[in-house]
């Protein structure tokens, strides 16, 4: 037993997020070390990371370049404010991020998480509409099965009932597009399904209802946390066109799809549609220090900043916006992405990943497989009267045999670090196949 690992009698204080605290603490699974493609558990077992932590360790674990950059920065200057002050490394990190975002989206606001990025993007959209004389545009449009974190803004535009129902009325003036998922027409598609561009037309109906009061539409270009929903061909193009037609902003939440996950710097590039605002977090620092960011089009920045009276232009920010340690990690992570062409690596191994995922078709209870980039969703039929149970049992079997997967409902979501190699894929999908079979036996 690793002596640093908490013993069962001191698991009480930590109220674990998005967890079944009662069952977990009865049978804890503890990770104590990580390197490359692997975690190591407190009983010193090697666990292949099939999920890049939580969709975030894109360059693999324990990258020396990132660790050393954080150490150097901690020793040089631990913290400095960015309210009416600055430190060079925050500016340098923003410039690095702007090199990777689509052309035009080169103004970067730093946050500490994906949730804060979503709320920041929504607030910037509202401030922008007001600054350009469209103060009636107060409405925010999200999508069913969308996930934009857990702040009140992101939660309100998000579309996961379970996440919302404990928390009251949430934001007013919010509406939702329908989800793009139609398994009867899309099941087992590789990449973007052919069916479903028309789901974007629901935005026309919302404009007919709400008129010129819509400030922004926010979607994940590829929805990850709600079970890997790949956008249908033509769907995002249509959303873009409708936003342009009615003068609303389009926000892509790229917290998962940013930093190489789809084989390009951002999903916008792979999917060929450029939004007005992109939110990001996770892979930005390779998850070594919490950090999020919002990249906005120069036009939006200039409208808010140049149009403001003398003084503070945007009354928004976090103590840790551009935190020196996070900025150091972001610069090092961006440099690693370039030096190792991580998006290119993801692109190169995508066909093997896709083939391995789709080879699970035909296993018992597998009702759909969806893939794009290095993301796969494998949907299992729910056990009668026990939704989520089947996938959770598969998760436990995989963990016990040395592979970390992620489940949401009865969907297994895979998103390995972008440094994954063929042998890792064989182990990941081999272990998963065995677990799915064993669960049906």
Ligand X SMILES: Cc1ncc(COP(=O)(O)O)c(C=O)c1O
What are the residues binding ligand X (CB under 6 A)? 55, 113-115, 118, 147-149, 220, 224-225, 253, 255-256, 281
- Min separation Cβ 391 and ligand X, Å: 17
CB 85 within 8 A of CB 69: no
Q: Shortest distance, CB of residue 155 to ligand X, whole angstroms?
A: 10
Nearer to ligand X, 149 or 193 (CB): 149
Sheet hosting strand 46-49, strand order edge to edge:
31-35, 38-41, 46-49, 403-404
User: Which of 207, 414 has the CB closer to ligand X?
Assistant: 414
Say if CB 311 and CB 83 are below 8 A apart.
Answer: no
Least CB distance to ligand X at residue 249 (A): 17
Tokens 């980039």 belong to 373
- Alpha carbon distance 224, 441 (integer Å): 29
Q: Are 39 and 16 in contact (CB under 8 A)?
A: no
Output the residue with the shortest Cβ distance to ligand X: 114
Rounded CA-CA distance 418/56 in Å is 10
For residue 142, which of 121, 113, 162 has the smallest C-alpha distance?
121
SS3 content of the chain, % helix, strand, coil (to 5): 40, 15, 40
Q: Which is nearer to ligand X, 114 or 373 (CB)?
A: 114
- Residue 151 or 358 having the CB closest to ligand X: 151
Q: Which runs of E-coded beta strand occur in 72-222?
A: 107-111, 139-143, 174-177, 214-219
Q: Shortest approach of ligand X to residue 339 CB, angstroms?
A: 25
Q: Judged by CB, which is closer to ligand X: 155, or 334? A: 155
> What is the smallest separation between the CB atom of 11 and ligand X, expressed in angstroms?
22
The CB-of-171 to ligand X minimum distance in angstroms stands at: 16
- The span from the CA of 42 to the CA of 21, in Å, is 19
Nearer to ligand X, 220 or 379 (CB): 220
Beta carbon nearer to ligand X, 149 or 283: 149
Taking the CB of residue 215, how many other CB atoms lie within 10 A of it?
24
The minimum distance between CB 261 and ligand X, in angstroms, equals: 10
Neighbours of 6 (CB within 10 A): 15
């Amino acid at each position: 037993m690793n002596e640093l690992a908490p013993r069962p009698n001191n698991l009480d204080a930590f109220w674990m997020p998005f967890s079944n605290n009662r069952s977990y603490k009865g049978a804890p699974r503890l990770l104590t070390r990580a390197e490359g493609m692997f975690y190591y558990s407190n009983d010193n077992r090697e666990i292949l990371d099939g999920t890049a932590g939580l969709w975030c360790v894109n360059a693999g674990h324990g990258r020396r370049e990132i660790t050393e950059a954080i150490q150097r920065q901690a020793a040089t200057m631990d913290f400095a404010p960015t309210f009416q002050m600055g430190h060079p490394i925050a500016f340098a990190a923003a410039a690095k991020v702007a090199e990777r975002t689509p052309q035009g989206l080169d103004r970067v606001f730093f946050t500490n998480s994906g949730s804060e990025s979503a709320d920041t993007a929504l607030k910037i959209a509202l401030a922008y509409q007001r600054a350009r004389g469209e103060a009636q545009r107060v409405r925010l449009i999200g999508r069913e099965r969308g996930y934009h974190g857990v702040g009140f803004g992101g939660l309100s535009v998000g579309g996961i009932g379970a996440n919302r129902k404990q928390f009251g009325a949430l934001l007013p003036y919010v509406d939702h597009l329908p989800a793009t998922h139609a398994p009867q027409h899309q099941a087992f598609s590789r990449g973007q399904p052919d069916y479903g561009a028309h789901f974007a037309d629901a935005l026309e109906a919302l404009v007919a209802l709400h008129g010129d009061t819509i400030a922004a539409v926010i979607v994940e270009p590829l929805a990850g946390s709600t079970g890997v929903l790949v956008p249908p061909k033509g769907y995002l193009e249509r959303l873009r066109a409708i936003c342009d037609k009615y003068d609303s902003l389009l926000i892509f939440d790229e917290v998962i799809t940013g930093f190489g996950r789809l084989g390009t710097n951002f999903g916008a590039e792979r999917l060929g549609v450029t939004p007005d605002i992109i939110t990001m977090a996770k892979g930005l620092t390779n998850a070594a220090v919490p950090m999020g960011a919002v990249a906005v089009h120069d036009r939006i920045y200039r409208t808010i900043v140049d149009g403001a009276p003398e003084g503070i232009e945007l009354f928004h920010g976090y103590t840790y916006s551009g935190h020196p340690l996070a900025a150091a990690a972001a610069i090092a992570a961006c440099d690693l992405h370039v030096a190792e062409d991580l998006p290119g690596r993801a692109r190169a191994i995508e066909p093997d990943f896709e083939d391995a995922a789709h080879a699970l078709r035909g296993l018992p209870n597998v009702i759909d497989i969806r893939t794009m980039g290095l993301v796969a969703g494998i949907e299992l039929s729910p056990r009668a009267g026990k939704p989520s149970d089947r996938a959770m049992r598969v998760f436990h079997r995989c963990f016990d045999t040395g592979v970390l997967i992620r489940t949401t409902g009865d969907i297994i979501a895979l998103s390995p670090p972008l440094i994954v190699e063929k042998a890792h894929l064989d182990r990941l999908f081999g272990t998963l196949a065995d677990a799915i079979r064993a669960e049906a036996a």
